[in-house]
Amino acid sequence: MATTDLTAQTFEQTVLDNDIVLVDFWASWCGPCLRFAPVYDAASEKNEGVVFAKVDTEAEQALAAAVDITSIPTLMAFRDSILVFRQSGAMPPEAFQQLIDRVGSLDMDEVRAQVAAQKAAPPENAPTDATPRHTHTH
């Protein structure tokens, strides 16, 4: 399967409509991006049922900003519409294939339980009952 170019208009629907979506954020001026491209393209030919998408961060600056891309290449992996992996930097072919295999074998019930637990937990800096509250009276 060939890679698919994503835009701000197609990103969310692609993630929602497919079981496994890998997204490579790249730019034509980025040396590591250009070296990773053949690895990514070769993996797309070997892994049926996985969507291999690419986002050109120069053409899609608003999308890159919306998902907080600060360095490229950045690889994201979604499974059942949940972001399960995010890493900046190119990967060698063996490590990339291991990642694809791990994403495919995730226990998604466990992942969903972890996501729910994270949403239920208060943010790290949120005040608790033990946190002194400052009141000002004049």
94 is catalytic: no
Task: Choose the catalytic residue: 20, 21, 33, 76.
Answer: 33
Task: Choose the catalytic residue: 6, 21, 22, 30.
Answer: 30
30 is catalytic: yes
Q: What span, in angstroms and rounded, lies between the C-alpha atoms of 91 and 68?
A: 20
Q: Return all residues near 21 (Cβ < 8 A) that are at least 6 apart.
A: 14, 15, 50, 51, 53, 77, 78
| Phi, psi torsion values for 19, nearest 5 degrees | -65, -50
Q: Which residues are catalytic?
A: 30, 33
